[in-house]
Amino acid sequence: MTSPEPPTPFPGRDAGPKIDQQLHALADPTRRAVYDIVRTGPSSVSAVAARLPVSQPAVSQHLRVLSDARLVTATPRGARRIYRADPAGLADLRRWIDQLWDDVLDAYVQAATGAEPEEER
């Protein structure tokens, strides 16, 4: 007999494994710095490492995590790989954050107008 699934901490707001992976990838400050560099334009590992106090192997590991989370893409160019931010990679994460923001705005309207909260959507 298997144990029941634990309840979702926020019913209706389960982020899902892809968003969890993206949030985890962006939770690390160094990884966010790597992402910000790649977000501003295509970059190699050595170009990113030159802008940060981090070794090339560490930058490679951070880019691997970002790539696994589908936040960056890599294009082989000779012996190097050129990394770019993947705008489509943030689409689900942005949609989830927008839902949270919609909830905040709904709560604000309810508080300001004294309206009763809507039933669960």
Does 69 map to a domain?
yes
CATH code assigned at 103: 1.10.10.10
Does 63 map to a domain?
yes
What are the pLDDT digits (tens) for 84-111?
Answer: 999 888 888 888 888 877 777 777 787 8
What are the pLDDT digits (tens) for 11-70?
Answer: 445 567 889 999 999 999 999 999 999 999 999 999 999 999 999 999 999 999 999 999
Does 121 map to a domain?
no
d(CA 112, CA 36): 38
Domain count, the chain: 1
Does 7 map to a domain?
no
Q: Does the pLDDT value for residue 10 go beyond 60?
A: no
- Residue 60 lies in domain: 17-113
Does 101 map to a domain?
yes
Does 118 map to a domain?
no
